[in-house]
Structure 1
């Protein structure tokens, strides 16, 4: 498969480049041979050769006839003073995090809810009540698995509002879904393992798997869901360790996988012994009808790990997520959680328990859904008179917008940032970082007035660039 080979080739190139830039591979000393690197990384020699050739084209290495490749001096990190330790880092860059750090006024890149729409005052008014009930709260570590009261409350919540029976022993509390994905990856994925991942996808998950050295196999998701024949073909051919999916109001597309496919995905997971990591971060943000039950609800073989995060729409600052799995997997996940932080902060768990079990939570969700639908419609109204294309989502926080294929994407992004506007380029949401003609616009963070102002500026920039293209 061409796209998979490209991903592997890029991973090998990055592995080699990191060692050059940190000085681990010294100047003018013969670099590891094609054969030795192929054996070390478990890949074909041609893959190593292609990576070396690219490094040569980029000016990082040079070749000597019959002796091999050597590093050029210019790539060594030279700005480290003698007083500083020459520390080497092997962590991959987080492109989404880089975008979020941009200091802009119109943050269409932020797939989070406007803080003014969250129950801040309610929680602050009842903070003393929480401390009165748990006077030793700040002096107590939480259980690694999670606070027992919160786990009981979550189990009851799932059964009451989702008609989903989840036994308490199947729940671990994590510090957000991101930590859950990271724990699962560290527990079950090693370098060169295959991982199926929907395309486009949540880039934070792709970054985690890339850091594990996984070989990513993109699985296309559309408004109709997945092509299950393709999913089964990949599972049979690659024997992946897991399949990462966000099937309900998917980030970035807003698509929802239909119920029939959810049942079949659970069957495929059991048939091919492939863990499905179901990231369910937007379940309660629906605008018309409630979404279908999670894939987890159809699991009979214990191959589905379910992440139910409440960060996006209840209390982002508390970072509470339920990681749900069969007991056969749970024993390993608890060990992974212990290594991560030895337990989510107890204060966060007790504060969230207070809110989750209150009558206020349902009122909040009803009002929040109305507010977000209004903001979505305001953004769609701003897009309509321009050459954009998108499928209007039934929930979630984002619009996945197709732009003109002739558009200079780098120039569009640069001009947007110059005008204090940020969005997520489609390339970041592609597991293989292909240059696709899409952008993700989030309507959840800004109020209606700021959406109107920011979108007016963005569409004006877009139209002017299109006009320039026509005149070339």
Structure 2
């Protein structure tokens, strides 16, 4: 290979440039077949999804064309212009989000997106609240929110949490962010310096892993099981590594679907106080349960200010609103507000007001009741289609995903390319593993595809796997 691909740069763009370079040097001539996605990925030592994205970009730019089930071929190109061969401007250093390439892959059977099927969201009702907000706040588009978030919304959330969990809370303890990912990013900026130790569940939410790694954190893992954590392991890690914080997702955990029992939640707070370790509780799916509501959040046991609680709502109402709430006590909230003031002047006020009025209505609870039933049906259909394979998973009581263990001989790395060819996407387990070792696991989301797509997509996946 005449051109190396470096991990620190935009990988797919470098693959793109590599192919262009070979074409311009006439090493690959018009109508020559490019190496397969698998071979190119192996040669350049990058992920197949990175190569696939580069090939798709080449196709969009008219540099290659596709023959059905035959691969990618060099297009008969127009004369190269100087602009085309100028070197690209590359970022000095960017830690990539490993889910990004997966989510950019088109697919009819999209089992990689832990999002709700738009057909299950209250789109019609939300349009009513948009009109209502403009009637009540005619200057809403001409007004910034405060950095901390709309006071009316923070008061409403305060009342909701106090009534539901019987905990004392003030509006000054709540900050509104543009989604939970922004909240995690702000926490990493406010509390983590390079080489600080951060505890992570294994497996865990991929974007959070990438965010803390980008901040220079040293990650130490704690296993999560269907029964919760091994608290002796947690305490041993806190005692030995003295972590700054422990990022956890204890309710319908992403990707496993596990829920940590109430008695462990109380014990975790005790350990955090003892070893002066912040607990970052990411609670994205609390309202998506099927048989019984989950235990109260960990933050409800906190009296010493050791928990930062991130609660997402818009994933199952309207992802485009991008509303999450961060709840913590005074010294912590001040640090987060300082970090957020550098990021923006506050989350969009229009979005906050739309969410506020829907949140206060009876329609939200009615929507959640219907949504739980629809998602449970989809989960059960996916489990039904997977059951003949003998593959292993723990049936979750909520959330959006199944965490499936494949037989040892079946590598997810091998599955990716033939699945993409069949319009199937999933999240490989290595993406969710801070140690990058879970090569026999996959995350399948049942929430973004309808019942017919689940049946057909899983049947195709199972057939590709040889079952």
1:279 counterpart = 2:278: no
Selected match of 2:107 from 104, 107, 120: 104
Selected match of 2:421 from 409, 418, 423: 418
The answer for unaligned runs of 5 or more in structure 1 is: 1-15, 22-57, 60-78, 465-472
Provide the secondary structure at the position in 2 that maps to 1:351.
helix
The answer as to whether partners of 1:146 and 1:172 remain within 8 angstroms in 2 is yes
Q: Distance in 1 between matches of 2:322 and 2:411?
A: 37
1:63-78 matched pairs, under 5 angstroms:
none
Equivalenced residues, count: 393
Selected match of 1:392 from 395, 403, 418: 395
Selected match of 1:449 from 432, 439, 452: 452
Q: Distance in 1 between matches of 2:369 and 2:277?
A: 37
Cα deviation 1:420-468 (Å, max 9, x = unaligned) = 000000000101212431100000011111111111111111125xxxx
The answer for unaligned runs of 5 or more in structure 2 is: 1-5, 12-43, 46-81
Q: Distance in 2 between matches of 1:276 and 1:243?
A: 5
Q: Distance in 2 between matches of 1:365 and 1:120?
A: 14
- Counterpart of 1:52 in structure 2 is none
Selected match of 1:179 from 171, 179, 182: 182
Q: Distance in 1 between matches of 2:388 and 2:172?
A: 53
- Counterpart of 2:202 in structure 1 is 199
The answer as to whether partners of 1:92 and 1:211 remain within 8 angstroms in 2 is yes
1:190 counterpart = 2:196: no
1:321-332 matched pairs, under 5 angstroms:
321-332=324-335
1:382 counterpart = 2:413: no
The answer as to whether partners of 2:165 and 2:300 remain within 8 angstroms in 1 is no
Using the size of structure 2 for normalisation, the TM-score is: 0.81
Aligned-pair distance for 1:312?
1.8
- Counterpart of 1:255 in structure 2 is 258
1:235 counterpart = 2:238: yes
- Counterpart of 2:364 in structure 1 is 361
Q: Distance in 1 between matches of 2:86 and 2:444?
A: 45
Aligned-pair distance for 1:268?
0.7
The answer as to whether partners of 2:412 and 2:439 remain within 8 angstroms in 1 is no
1:298 counterpart = 2:287: no
- Counterpart of 1:346 in structure 2 is 349
1:214 counterpart = 2:220: no
Cα deviation 1:116-136 (Å, max 9, x = unaligned) = 111110011232221010010
Query: Structure 1 stretch 137-146 or stretch 405-414: which is displaced more?
Result: 405-414
Q: Distance in 2 between matches of 1:18 and 1:408?
A: 26
1:156 counterpart = 2:159: yes
- Counterpart of 2:431 in structure 1 is 428
- Counterpart of 1:31 in structure 2 is none
Cα deviation 1:159-211 (Å, max 9, x = unaligned) = 33444443211100000000000000000011111000000000010000110
